[in-house]
Amino acid sequence: MLRCLCSLLLLKLLGFGSTQSCTSRRCLANMLISKDVLTQPQSINCTLVLRLPSILYTTQFINTKELRFTSQMIVNLQWMDPDLAWNTSVYTFNNVILPADQIWVPSLLVLNAVSRIQKHYSKDLLVNSNGTVTHAVLLKTVVGCDVDMFKYPFVEDTCPISLNAWKADECGLLMQFGRVVNGDSDTGEWLTQSVELASHNGRNDRNTLNVNFKIRSTGPVVTLILPSVLIIIADVVSFALPIGGERVCFKVTLVLSFIMFLLILNDLLPADNNCSPLIRIHFCFSLFILVASMLVSMVLTRLTKDGRILPSCIFKCIKSKDSNSNDKEILGEGESESDISVISLTDAAEEKNLNLQKVFNFLERMASKEQRSKKHFKFANKLDKVYFWIYFIVCMIYAALILYLLIGYSGCPIDKLPKWNN
């Protein structure tokens, strides 16, 4: 009997001890979760040091129409939470995994962001026995960046991303940055060259990631600049065609083709900001000289045909009065001459001489008309050569000016730094 009582007492002691000495990782995790640490750790000085050992940065998209800079960052975080520490003599583990939604996780702020989305990179986080928490967050931002598009498509600029944490007076988070890694692959229209961390005015709460990027100019040059240059070259070469309808039709075709080209590629052109892109000025100049060349060819064609620029109907209206008076005089003289001819021109020889005189006058008028036509063509040809050299010289000066602006001009000064609240 005594032996049975001792056995029961021993079993109770063992059962009681097993319930009190649950030291597995899951028991440790449940114990830490039961503390409900959903607020920021509160220290004596009301601050918390937030370390960012590494940031993996990636540029996703740059909207040249709305000047929006979309990026993604994987940010590794470390902070100390004393309430999550445990005694390693009881729980003999140095690390434990906890669900990220059950523990307080710091929130990162982007001051100059149009939109910001922060998500857990993993549903779990790692807690060390001394209370150190290690976690990673996925931060997607859309930043309004006033990119200098003056030299588009030869653009190289820097866009700042204000990456900070909440801080008010003496309370808040003190950020300590580690390394920043550029995770962009060598693809896409935009190439991220470097990502550098900067602190402004020596303040810990004014940190920016300065992203230096440039556009791959091959695509825009082929689709935007090269077609416009080729159309201008074709217009210059068209001066080799003779003055007339053939040249005018060709130049009209060039103008219409260029207008259709601008309408199709309107969505590819960058938006206007403080400095209008030079490519817009290029397209305006190209359209202007193409239309001017077409109009000059039309005027020269008219000059070659009639010897005057204004339509012939204007001159007909002016000379109508003179022609009416001259007709009356001619009719009067005709009546007197007819009376005389009835009396004097009686033989066939004199009538034959009159017919020959009419033929001679007709041939003389044709010869004088042909001579005037040659004179008009010669004059129009001289004007055409003068305009060609003016056109050519203007194009050369324009090309030299464009090269100077692309090489020698530094661009528009734009203040891209965020407007700090304090």
For the stretch 367-406, pLDDT in tens is 776 777 777 778 888 888 999 999 999 999 999 998 888 8
Q: What is the mean pLDDT of residues 325-339?
A: 45
Q: What tokens appear for 19 in the block? A: 């319930």
Neighbours of 193 (CB within 10 A): 12
pLDDT band at 295 (very low <50, low <70, confident <90, very high): very high
The answer to whether the predicted template modeling score (pTM) of the entire model surpasses 0.95 is: no
Q: Number of C-alpha atoms within 13 angstroms, CB side, residue 351?
A: 8
pLDDT band at 245 (very low <50, low <70, confident <90, very high): confident
The backbone torsions φ and ψ at residue 350, rounded to the nearest 5 degrees and listed phi first, read -70, -35
CA distance to 35, 255, 328, 334, per residue, from 153 (Å): 57, 24, 73, 78
Q: What is the pLDDT of residues 117-135, one digit of tens each?
A: 999 999 999 999 999 999 9
Residues 6+ apart with CB under 8 A from 346: none
Among the ranges given (131-140, 248-257, 324-333, 344-353), the one the predictor scored with the smallest mean pLDDT: 324-333
Q: What is the pLDDT of residues 32-74, one digit of tens each?
A: 999 888 888 887 888 888 999 999 998 888 887 888 888 999 9
Highest mean pLDDT: which range of 14-18, 184-188, 284-288, 403-407: 284-288
Task: Show the beta-strand stretches assigned E in 145-206.
Answer: 156-165, 167-168, 171-182, 190-199
Owner of token pair 């556009």: 215
Domains of the chain: 31-216 (2.70.170.10), 219-308+389-407 (1.20.58.390)
